[in-house]
Amino acid sequence: MISEKLVDALNGQIQFEIHSGLIYKAMQAYFEAEDLPGMANWMNIQYQEELAHAEKMFDFVCEAGGRVKMLAMEEPRNEYSSPLEAFETALSHEQIVTTRINDLMDLAQREKNHAAQIFLQWFVTEQVEEEASVGQVIAHLKRIQSDGRGLMMIDQQLANRSFTPIAAE
């Protein structure tokens, strides 16, 4: 049985994951407008991943006997001064997601909900990869500084990223 407190916390995270997707979709639009299709692709993959995360949580809440409630969201930011600022914003956002996932895990541990702990472990591990992935792009962007050729090389590299659906357990 899942507690109402944990259901409420997971509902908040479902909303946050969907909102995260919107943030990345808005970043994709920014990169499309800047004629950086590789970076736009990278953000579109992030968008798809965030929605997949929300769906995974949605399914867990339903399977655990809880009730999912869809919550309102605010408009995401749509403009950035540079690709670096957009990716730094993405990293900052992922760090917030990590804190939220850790808080969910702490709650599941306090409630001794072993199923929720096992479920949330996947997200704990995923956040390590999420932060590392964004951090690598930031490091590359900082390395090239204002070199347009370097920016184009990074953009071409990011065009190769593809979405891999979450495997069923």
Task: Of 11-20, 81-90, 134-143, 156-165, give the lowest mean pLDDT range.
Answer: 156-165
Question: What size, in residues, is the chain?
Answer: 169
Q: Is residue 103 part of a domain?
A: yes
Per-residue pLDDT, 71: 86
pLDDT above 80 (res 3): yes
Domain count, the chain: 1
- Cα 94 to the center of its chain, rounded Å: 6
* Identity at 47, one-letter amino acid code: Y
Q: Is residue 50 part of a domain?
A: yes
pLDDT above 70 (res 169): no
pLDDT in tens, 23-36: 999 999 999 999 99
* Identity at 57, one-letter amino acid code: M
pLDDT above 80 (res 168): no
8 A C-beta contact, residue 154 and residue 137 = yes
Q: Is residue 126 part of a domain?
A: yes
Q: Is residue 164 part of a domain?
A: no
Per-residue pLDDT, 106: 98
pLDDT above 80 (res 145): yes
Place of tokens 């409420």: 8
pLDDT above 90 (res 128): yes
- CATH number at 129 reads 1.20.1260.10
Q: Is residue 169 part of a domain?
A: no
Q: Is residue 163 part of a domain?
A: no
Per-residue pLDDT, 134: 98
Closest C-alpha to 21, from 114, 85, 94: 94
Per-residue pLDDT, 1: 84
Q: Is residue 166 part of a domain?
A: no
pLDDT above 80 (res 69): yes
User: What percentage of the chain has pLDDT greater than the value 70?
Assistant: 99
User: Residue 125: which H helix or E strand, with range?
Assistant: helix 114-144
Q: Is residue 168 part of a domain?
A: no
Place of tokens 């956040």: 127
Give the residue-averaged pLDDT of 112-118.
Answer: 97
Closest C-alpha to 161, from 41, 51, 52, 48: 41
Per-residue pLDDT, 138: 98
Task: Of 39-43, 95-99, 127-131, 142-146, give the lowest mean pLDDT range.
Answer: 142-146
CA–CA distance, 32 with 20 (Å, rounded to integer): 18
Domain boundaries, position 29: 4-158
Closest C-alpha to 140, from 88, 103, 105, 67: 88
Per-residue pLDDT, 167: 72
- Cα 165 to the center of its chain, rounded Å: 14
